[in-house]
Structure 1
Amino acid sequence: MYILRLNTAGQPVEWLTWQETVCLYSRELVHWSLGDIIYRIHGGYNRWHGDRTIIELPSIVACGGKRLFPCRSNPTLSNYSLFERDNHQCLYCGRFFKTRELTRDHIVPKSKGGVDDWMNVVAACRRCNQFKGDKLLENSGMSLIALPYRPNAAEYLALVNSQRILPDQADYLRTQFSKNCRWKSRNRNTSSGILQPI
């Protein structure tokens, strides 16, 4: 399980391991926290008092300090995050597929000057991608069932950790999803915290 790191303004920044979070607590960089305690870390014993150090780690922490990373304005594009953004649905035929059955299609093909960017790629099944080939949409006789969009920081963090996200983390991130995000129509499986289509 990862811990969601926010900046002090409440904007999502990154996923942390419990070890990284303990370091932030030990350096007193955690300003506030939310969510349930998901780890209880036991440290050493104080040789003067005999007390044992215990650090409780919640699912969401907000940190200050000089080492804050700026929110992602252009998150890394990968097939995994692209297919998650498009809900594992071919944006040409509308059918849902497993990851291994999907491909990345460039709306404006690279051979015609298209770039490998969130706004120019969609998930496509192998059949639709082959049929479209290197043609422009208007020349292929095909159309998109939804428009591509660039995920904001909250959406991207949900995409890259979709199978391990906890319910309170999903709820927090969902409040910052844009109007373009198709994940707004998802809910969480309350037993596992996994975001799923309704």
Structure 2
Amino acid sequence: MDVADLRREYSKGGLHRADLPADPLALFETWLGQACEAKLSDPTAMVVATVDVSGQPWQRTVLLKHYDAAGMLFYTNMGSRKAVQLAGNPCISLLFPWHMLDRQVHVTGRVEKLSAFEVMRYFHSRPKDSQIAAWVSKQSSRISARGVLESKFMELKQKFANGEVPLPSFWGGYRVVIDSVEFWQGGEHRLHDRFLYQRERDGWQIDRLAP
């Protein structure tokens, strides 16, 4: 297969400057709602990019769990590769790849750790099996076989069968304090629409970018 020959036209519609709200989260909320209405798989999935101490970028997909004017939230094992990298460099990039709608949203910012109360509240809102799974995996570490995870999961499921699953000390979350948001809408003939919101002291600067 020659991947250079794989192409299609983007014809879902344009994005116009006159239609942009003053606050990027208003447009994000509209687009996220439309992604949900279109029944996209995992519409809250976002690619999270971090950088290690050598300058090597890393990416992985996690789920957005909340957003508001203060930022975007996600949760993770605080011993994971991403957490170690964010401890050394709090700069982060998020990408929402809504390909079926010919859309992408790209967010840049810096992370701050969530409070113990915020983490506890979300942890206990998860299904019990998901709570147990957080205890099972030392995320990003090497393991000999999948059976190691499955055995540990069954052991802990039995242990916590009749009681509450405690919050692991190594489990937490981050708030991404947003510096910029870029909205990309695919256009015909590769003439895509791109608008960049950049935070300023008294609001947001909005610029159209060449595709």
**TM-score, scaled relative to structure 2:** 0.24
Q: Which has the higher contact order (CA 8 A, sep 6+)?
A: 2
More strand by share: 2
**TM-score, scaled relative to structure 1:** 0.25
